[in-house]
A and B are shown apart, each in its own frame.
Chain A
Amino acid sequence: MIKYPRACVCGSVLMLFAAILCLAADGGLDPQVLLKPLGKDWPTYNGDYSGKRYSSLAQINQTNVRKLTLRWILQAQSVGIKSAPLMVDGRLYFTTPDNVWAADARTGEIIWHYYRESQGDHIGNRGVGMYHDWLYFETPDCHLICLNAKDGKVRWNIELADPKLGYFSTMAPLIIRDHVIVGVSGDVTDIPGFLESVRPEDGKVEWRWNTEPGVGEPGSETWPRSGDAILHGGGMTWMTGTYDPGLNQLYWGIGNPNPVLNGKIRPGENLYTCSIVSLNPDTGKLNWHFQVSPHDTHDWDATQTPVIFDDEYQGVHRKLLAQASRNGYFFVLDRTTGEHILTKPFIYTDWAKGIDSRGEPVPNPEKEPTPDGTLVSPGSDGATNWMAPSFDPETKLFYVSARRLWSIFYMTAEGKPEGWAGRDRNLWANSVVEAIDYQTGDIRWKHEIGDGEGSAGMLTTAGKLLFTADNSDNLLALDPATGETLWHVNLGGKMLGAPTTYELDGKQYLLTPTSNVILAWGLPEE
């Protein structure tokens, strides 16, 4: 049952405050602003289009990070916050499943709260996209809702896919000029994934790119010719992608195939599941693809951020794309053409027989799930997962929250596999922040963050700082060159999103979503 949406404005004082801020917020976020590198705001899920999560702000830096103090705390009265709060014109916009909040970025006071109860998987929500004065929010029942950023009122509400078939959604929409790019989630039923561009004005679909090719189209040869496997092949678009305005290419990581752990009825590489793809954002046409896990049978979606940066590679200036993937391998590609440059594991893995001439790992069939169990590293939770990575152009290192994770994979299906058709049971997990040299794939340094599975993303800044959290709820400020701890504080809760930063009134803020609380940090007043 879907209840009618409601927005509540908290208290008359706040209303007045909101009204004042609304005047200041007139005009909202011009998509042209997104074409620039990340500045004082934090206007998209990854800050900017590159996915680097590198901020040029340096007021908080190595010389003063030990003085960081709390500016404010915001209690969201909800489940854990996995979204990246946008910061535009002095306002924050953040989410949990079913909920969107606007808050004052200077004080943490809530300006409005939108709540809409829904059916569907409430696993997490990564945030909103913003276009002028409008916010775009995906829901557990796979709706896309457009809200007025000023007051949280609904402008329109459309269904992206039918939740009764098993669809839900988690990602933060990505705004590219006048396109709202949206994706879908869900893998307990055998449903096909897609990415769509809709019009910001009314949600009308401009194009849809299906993550499985149509029967007879290029790529369809990687699925069985007979049967319905290709029509039910999974490949969800769980996470927000990246964009290169110069090349006008949209980059997206695609989810795992279905049935998830049993590939017997889908022999072949199963494109474009577990792939990094480049699309034209105006037409939805595929430019190129690179498959990081051909014929996946371990739930290793390739939805981790495809981070883009330009740099010298072996003496040649190149436009690069890097992903530390859930399957335990780090990949570097030329993002103009998709040409493979480098593949190297960033944790111990035992599931591939080698790397083929295309740079893709070759899965060892003996490591597929079996009824009597197959021991595999990493387990299905992955060598990394949703945790945002970061690339620091100063150190030229790629930072990832990595896991050493062993699991036994069981195939449960007796007849035709459907849905997951199996599952793994975790044995042991231990986590580490790794700094990867993209030139060689070598791990430059490791910083242990404890037993269990890491859940926090990364932020690097021009203040020569790397912020993340360990598995004991400590917020860490590390030296990005060496991994040495420069400062820490116990947050008292788990960080499920990633730190972000912005500057207002000449003051730099560091935001740390912690459980269901947002903590804002800054330097003490002079």
Chain B
Amino acid sequence: MRLIFGLLVMAVWAAGQGHQATPLPRQQPTEDPAAVERGQALFKSSCGFCHGDDATGARAPDLLRSPVVLRDDGGNLLGPTIRNGRPDKGMPSFTTMKDDQIAAIVAFLHHQANLALHSNRVARDYPLARLLTGNAQAGKAYFDGAGGCSGCHSVTGDLAHIAKKYSPIELQQHMVYPSGNDVSKTATVTLKDGTEYRGKVVHQDEFNIGLMCDDGWYRSFRADEVKISEKDPLEAHRELMRKYTDADIHNLFAYLESLK
């Protein structure tokens, strides 16, 4: 009965997923890189003295926070503002500026605003130079000593050439808390008659455990009917998270990053 009900609920749920309203993407103007570059140079020479070379403000306001920039659509507001100036606020007019020059400045400003809008991204190609602030020697000492890393890992074994395998930021993340098949939790499930099944834990909640067993079969068990003995290779990493200083992390990263 419970199974039938569960299937019914899943069917209803799945049916709904197919008809989800598609949320509209946030507007992401893509500016022509050549125009942005031209605009940057023009902005720097004509506007940077007051608004800052990157348009984030100096003597005059930060334009990335400006309602005029944020509400502008292809220069419809910025164009007249540049051409006419804002005499009441002390901004001169740029009457001699040509249309293509204004268009380039507009492209640059939208590009800068877009960078700010997406400043909450730490991409896979996050630069190594930003991450590499630690001391590799100190990292090696931590690896072999206080960190206890060498108890499970070897730089000539499982970690050999580890820096080639991951981008720098991925290496730092995996170093602190690895993910992937090779670090999955495993369990041995013992039935009441003594039969044992061992395998990778692929589902676990309060009521059931599901194993991909060593023999290639998926088996699930009611948690209250079996004995479960778990082995989690990541436990030591979780314990370490409370012990690390950030300097330890940066040193250890510098050491692992040297393992090309």
> What residues of chain A lie closer than 8 Å to B23, measured between beta carbons?
79, 97, 122, 140
Point out the residue from B8, B130, B173, B242 that lies within 8 Å of A427, measured CB to CB.
Answer: B173
Q: Are A75 and B71 closer than 8 Å at their CB atoms? A: no
- What is the count of residue pairs linking A and B with beta-carbon distances less than 8 angstroms? 186
Q: Are A517 and B131 closer than 8 Å at their CB atoms? A: no
Q: Are A516 and B13 closer than 8 Å at their CB atoms? A: yes
Q: Are B9 and A416 closer than 8 Å at their CB atoms? A: no
**Is B21 part of the contact surface with A, judged by Cβ < 8 Å?**
yes
Point out the residue from B2, B16, B24, B203 that lies within 8 Å of A75, measured CB to CB.
Answer: B16
Point out the residue from A76, A424, A514 that lies within 8 Å of B9, measured CB to CB.
Answer: A514
> What residues of chain A lie closer than 8 Å to B47, measured between beta carbons?
none
> What residues of chain B lie closer than 8 Å to A97, measured between beta carbons?
23
Q: Are A121 and B5 closer than 8 Å at their CB atoms? A: no
**Is B249 part of the contact surface with A, judged by Cβ < 8 Å?**
yes
Q: Are A425 and B65 closer than 8 Å at their CB atoms? A: no
- Using known A-B contacts A73-B9, A406-B241, A490-B6, determine if residue A420 contacts B120 with beta carbons closer than 8 Å: yes
Q: Are A375 and B241 closer than 8 Å at their CB atoms? A: yes
Which chain A residue lies CB-closest to B66? A165
Q: Are B65 and A188 closer than 8 Å at their CB atoms? A: no
**Is B95 part of the contact surface with A, judged by Cβ < 8 Å?**
no
Give A514 to B132 CA distance when docked, in angstroms: 45
- Using known A-B contacts A162-B71, A373-B246, A490-B6, determine if residue A421 contacts B57 with beta carbons closer than 8 Å: no
Q: How far is the CB of B138 from chain A (nearest CB, A)?
A: 14
- Using known A-B contacts A422-B120, A493-B13, determine if residue A516 contacts B20 with beta carbons closer than 8 Å: yes
Q: Are A98 and B21 closer than 8 Å at their CB atoms? A: yes
Give A73 to B122 CA distance when docked, in angstroms: 41
**Is A59 part of the contact surface with B, judged by Cβ < 8 Å?**
no
Q: Are B62 and A228 closer than 8 Å at their CB atoms? A: yes
Point out the residue from A408, A474, A485 that lies within 8 Å of B176, measured CB to CB.
Answer: A408
* A residues contacting the other copy or chain, number (CB 8 A): 77
Q: How far is the CB of B175 from chain A (nearest CB, A)?
A: 10
> What residues of chain A lie closer than 8 Å to B253, measured between beta carbons?
372
- Using known A-B contacts A410-B122, A516-B17, A519-B9, determine if residue A373 contacts B117 with beta carbons closer than 8 Å: no
Q: Are B116 and A371 closer than 8 Å at their CB atoms? A: no
* B residues contacting the other copy or chain, number (CB 8 A): 62
- B-contact bits for A378-416, CB 8 A (1 contact / 0 none): 000000000000000000000000000010101011011
**Is A350 part of the contact surface with B, judged by Cβ < 8 Å?**
yes
Which chain B residue lies CB-closest to A494? B13
**Is B177 part of the contact surface with A, judged by Cβ < 8 Å?**
yes
- Using known A-B contacts A350-B242, A375-B244, A377-B241, determine if residue A419 contacts B119 with beta carbons closer than 8 Å: yes
Q: Which one of A70, A77, A413, A514 has the highest number of Cβ atoms from chain B below 10 Å of its Cβ?
A: A77
Which chain B residue lies CB-closest to A374? B246
Point out the residue from A75, A162, A422 that lies within 8 Å of B67, measured CB to CB.
Answer: A162
Q: Are B122 and A189 closer than 8 Å at their CB atoms? A: no
**Is B30 part of the contact surface with A, judged by Cβ < 8 Å?**
no
- Using known A-B contacts A370-B246, A492-B9, A517-B12, determine if residue A188 contacts B207 with beta carbons closer than 8 Å: no
Give A98 to B242 CA distance when docked, in angstroms: 43
> Which residues of A line the B interface, CB within 8 A?
70, 73, 75-79, 96-99, 117-122, 140, 162, 164-166, 188-190, 228, 232, 259-261, 348, 350, 366, 370-375, 377, 406, 408, 410, 412-413, 415-425, 427-428, 448-450, 470-472, 474, 485, 488-493, 514-517, 519
A-B contact pairs, 13 of them (CB 8 A): A75-B15, A232-B65, A377-B241, A416-B57, A418-B119, A419-B119, A425-B169, A448-B206, A491-B9, A492-B6, A492-B13, A493-B10, A516-B17
> Which residues of B line the A interface, CB within 8 A?
2, 5-6, 8-10, 12-13, 15-17, 19-21, 23-24, 26-27, 52, 54, 56-57, 61-62, 64-65, 67, 70-71, 115-122, 126, 130-134, 169, 172-173, 176-177, 203-207, 234, 238, 241-242, 244, 246, 249-250, 253
